[in-house]
């Protein structure tokens, strides 16, 4: 299924231009499994960064972070951190770290709750 979206995105970019692929990325992220959605988010954020749409890319990273347990998806968090080093500032880096702590707390709570059952 992920491959179909990749083909669709490629064709849409060729015919209509890269910015027209946004809706396809959004639909893919909505419909695909978490793992494939994470991959699609990273590609989407990379595209937005190349277009100079830094705020859009940052929003995509923030959205994706909600399905990225820092203990399991260290690559995602490293990618976002590198993005902030290149394109952000102290405030955006602080916000990314705040989100990471919040997501970590959510996953810790979920694990704790499962253990209590």
What does the pLDDT profile of the chain (117 residues) look like in tens digits? 689 999 999 999 999 999 999 999 999 999 999 999 999 999 999 999 999 999 999 999 999 999 999 999 999 999 999 999 999 999 999 999 999 999 999 988 755 555 555
Torsional sign, CA 104, 67, 70, 52 = negative
C-alpha span between 33 and 85 (Å, rounded): 29
């Amino acid at each position: 299924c992920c491959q179909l979206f990749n083909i669709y995105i490629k064709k849409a970019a060729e015919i209509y231009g890269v910015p027209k692929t946004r809706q396809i990325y959004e639909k893919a992220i909505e419909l695909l499994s978490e793992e494939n959605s994470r991959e699609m988010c990273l590609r989407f954020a990379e595209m937005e960064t190349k277009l100079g749409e830094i705020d859009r890319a940052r929003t995509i990273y923030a959205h994706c972070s909600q399905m990225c347990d820092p203990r399991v998806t260290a690559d995602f968090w490293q990618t976002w951190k590198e993005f902030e080093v290149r394109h952000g500032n102290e405030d955006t880096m602080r916000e990314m770290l705040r989100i990471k702590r919040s997501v970590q707390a959510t996953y810790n709570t979920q694990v704790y709750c499962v253990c209590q059952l």
